[in-house]
Amino acid sequence: MMKIILAGILGFCATVSAANNYYGGCTGERKHDCCAARRDYGINSWQAAKTCDKYGCNRKTCNGYYEDDNYNDDDYKSGSSSKQTYQKDDDDNWGSPTNYKQTSNYKQDYDDGSNYNKNPNDYDDYNKNSYNNNNYQDNFVKDVVYKSSGGSRSSGYSGYNSDYEIYTMNGQRAGYNLDGWEGDGFWGPKLQKVREECAVMFHQDMLYLAKAIRLVFHDCMGNEDYGCDGCVDLTHPDNSGLDLIMYKLLPIFRNNRQYFSRTDIWQICSLTALDISSSMYEQNAPHFKMTLIGRKDCPNADEVGDGGDKIVDMYPKSINSQSLVHHFYQYFGFDARCTTAVMGTHGMSLMHPWNSGHGDGPYPAKWSEGKSYILDNWYFKGFKKPWTYELRDNSEYPNIEAKKQWYWESGQEGFWNGDGYEQGKLVMLDADMSLKYDYSDYQDQNGYVYCKASYEAQHHGPQPAQSVPLCPMAYDTYDIVEEYAHDNLKFLYDVEYCMIKMFNTGYRHGMDGNYKMYYGHGAYY
């Protein structure tokens, strides 16, 4: 019964024709991705063919396109891309967040976990001091085996570049497969087993869906020669709260470590979380595939994954539209569209003041009016609201510095607590608001913003609210925000496309298994 239910949850997959429809054809940034793939991988490479075919592009598409410097690294620094004029959308009839269409699979009861031989709450046998990372690392993946391009393909195997092959100790080929490993005769059943264990864990607490996605985002980000390596420094303030999901994933890793590294396990559970959370609202949501097997864990972390040498800045010091896009371009090779799409996953999350310093008093805050465990476009719909800018002093949390945030008060009767705080209020970070507003010319040396979101909005600053100027629109991302606000499925397909880039960070071309980063050096551009 358990497998039947979980198969229903994980067994959805969008057709190629639907993907072409919602990718929007060979235009704009999609044209750029096609041409960049042809440039970086070769015109006749399978990577370029897959990327270009997905958007309906052909070889003539890229004639003379490489002289276009709209996505040049210097442009992101200077903001020299040509500005566009946008018309304000007056359509406020987006409906109510209560009108979610739930699929029947998510209303069924799961197995209560009694048949699951790894209790997620049982960590008694974990001993951080005695654990030796090499106990499993040496038994996981051999060093990369370099072969000439004349290697043969196994029958039924697609998305294969014979220049680079990764083999497990038992002789099974791993590495990169653009079509996903779910259909592979060897890896498919093992991936399904891990996904089922992840789904059991998520059913126990649906709020862990967002935590699993956040964990991989933090794992894959890092300076210098680092990428997705199964290591997160829990002493870093930006990683506060990740220990909960890391301990939840520990028994799943232990149960499958003979086939998967810790970072691969994190990725599989994150993909499962994306599958579950996106399909609750959208029955035609894409299937988030495991395209790379064989990521390596860092050697200097404990079994849970606490440690490593990554120096992580989750966001630039001074956040605005230009710096945010450039930041994620450096780390993940993201363009403006991918930056906007991945930021949209905030909509299924909560921010806890004791972890992040954001919220209202002692209560958590939400990014959107949607459900906290559903991935949909309510995050983008919320940008229409008259957000108020404030500096939160966090005096109740002495170890957390003051934080800047934007908030919206619902004004709903009975929504306020007796102590004067609004539980569940909507809050946006500077990084979120920079997707719609470009306040790069309205920031002081400390990054404090002195423009406001609308005429109706308040501004908790030294100036009277009526004298604070309006923030100009962010010409790189504003139209994408509006597009996603009206088209949930387009948003989900873009998330699926961009997550492949992020999840393969640290593996040049997604192939060779080395920590040779492409941060801004042309792997995708």
Instruction: Summarize the confidence of residues 307-313 as an average pLDDT.
Output: 77
**What is the CB-side half-sphere exposure of residue 439 using CA atoms within 13 A?**
26
Mind listing the pLDDT tens digit for each residue in 182-196? 999 999 999 999 999
Query: How far is C-alpha 417 from the geometric centre of its chain's CA atoms?
Result: 33
In which residue ranges of the chain is CATH 1.10.420.10 found?
321-481
Mind listing the pLDDT tens digit for each residue in 221-232? 865 566 899 999
Residue identified by tokens 């199964």 is: 230
Mind listing the pLDDT tens digit for each residue in 440-453? 888 777 777 777 77
Task: Please give the CATH topology (third level) of the domain spanning 321-481.
Answer: Peroxidase; domain 2 (1.10.420)
pLDDT (0 to 100) of residue 391 = 76
Grouping H, G, I as helix, E, B as strand and the rest as coil, residue 351 is strand
Q: Percent of the chain having pLDDT more than 90?
A: 25
Q: Percent of the chain having pLDDT more than 70?
A: 57
Q: Cα(18)–Cα(28) distance, rounded to whole angstroms?
A: 19
| Stretch among 362-371, 395-404, 509-518 having the lowest mean pLDDT | 509-518
Q: Which of 252, 304, 307, 303 is nearest to 136 (CA)?
A: 303
Alpha helix (H) residue ranges in 12-122: 16-23, 28-41, 46-55, 73-78
Residue identified by tokens 């359509």 is: 91
Q: Does 66 score more than 70 pLDDT?
A: no
Mind listing the pLDDT tens digit for each residue in 381-421? 988 888 888 777 777 777 777 777 777 776 544 344 444 44
Q: Does 158 score more than 50 pLDDT?
A: no
The tokens of 133 are what?
A: 């990372």
pLDDT (0 to 100) of residue 418 = 45
Task: Write out the H or E segment, with its range, that includes residue 492.
Answer: helix 488-503
Grouping H, G, I as helix, E, B as strand and the rest as coil, residue 515 is strand
Q: Does 17 score more than 60 pLDDT?
A: no
Encode 168-225 in three state secondary structure: ECCCCEEEECCCCCCCCCCHHHHHHHHHHHHHHHHHHCCCHHHHHHHHHHHHHCCCCC
pLDDT (0 to 100) of residue 215 = 95
Strand order in the sheet with 164-167: 145-146, 164-167, 173-176, 292-293
Q: Which of 505, 497, 510, 498 is nearest to 54 (CA)?
A: 497
pLDDT (0 to 100) of residue 105 = 34
- pLDDT tier at 268, thresholds 50, 70, 90: very high
Q: Does 74 score more than 50 pLDDT?
A: no
Answer with the residue of higher pLDDT: 505 or 122.
Answer: 505
Q: Does 139 score more than 50 pLDDT?
A: no
Q: Phi and psi (nearest 5°) for 146?
A: -90, 130
34 and 26 Cβ atoms separated by less than 8 Å: yes
185 and 169 Cβ atoms separated by less than 8 Å: no
Identify the CATH assignment for 2-13+105-314+506-510 out of 1.20.1270.360, 1.10.520.10, 3.30.465.10, 3.30.43.10.
Answer: 1.10.520.10
DSSP state for residue 241 in the 8-state scheme = T
Answer with the residue of higher pLDDT: 415 or 38.
Answer: 38
120 and 248 Cβ atoms separated by less than 8 Å: yes
Sign of CA dihedral 370, 371, 377, 383: positive
- pLDDT tier at 64, thresholds 50, 70, 90: low
- pLDDT tier at 331, thresholds 50, 70, 90: confident
10 exposure class (CB count in 10 Å sphere: 0-12, 13-18, 19+)? buried
In which residue ranges of the chain is CATH 1.10.520.10 found?
2-13+105-314+506-510
Q: Does 106 score more than 70 pLDDT?
A: no
Instruction: Summarize the confidence of residues 341-366 as an average pLDDT.
Output: 79
Q: Cα(173)–Cα(175) distance, rounded to whole angstroms?
A: 7
